[in-house]
Amino acid sequence: MKKVALIIGLCAAALIGAGAEARAQGGASRGPDPATLRDADMEKDSLHNLEVARQYFKLKKAYFASLKRVEEIIAGNPNFAKIDEALYIAGMSNLYLSKNQGKQKVESLPEKRRLTPEKYREDARLYLSQLANDHPDSDFNRQAQDALRELGGPLPKNSGQ
């Protein structure tokens, strides 16, 4: 009788252990982590562009130049590790251009690259909303929320993004 109880106990323990292993594999249906999809060369190139854009944005107040650098990152490498900062710089550069702030005045830009203040504000709201919606834990989220209040609030998630 002790032998039968021991065998039943071991079988029960094996089934419980197998159930835990099966539950541990449940996360595989969510797909791979975006970090694993990052190309090392693209990350390096995007990081360089971000560093240059950061210099244009912070030190030179050259918002058009910084905007072009981060738009290249956003379009070419949407899984970039620091995409939240790129979105922030894109949004704020557009906002500052809408106010004609910085060293690069809108009227001095080539006419085919010049946008209206309304279009710059619309693009600023789009980039900052994407930051707020997709990266709520970002270090740039508070500043984005402040700017979005000025722009009429964040756009709903997936509205034209």
Domain spans of the chain, in order of start? 37-150
Tens of pLDDT, residue by residue over 7-55, are: 776 666 666 665 555 555 555 555 555 555 688 999 999 999 999 999 9
Q: What angle do CA 41, 42, 48 make, to 5 degrees?
A: 95
- pLDDT given for residue 63 in this prediction: 96
Mean pLDDT, the chain, rounded, equals 86
- pLDDT given for residue 41 in this prediction: 93
Mean per-residue pLDDT, 129-143:
96
Q: Which of 61-75, 80-94, 102-116 has the lowest mean pLDDT?
A: 102-116
Greater pLDDT, 72 or 28:
72
pLDDT at 117 over 60: yes
Class of domain 37-150: mainly alpha
Question: Long-range contacts of range 143-148, CB-CB < 8 Å, 24 or more positions apart?
Answer: 143/88, 143/92, 144/87, 144/88, 144/91, 147/91, 147/92, 147/95
Predicted TM-score (pTM) of the model is: 0.75
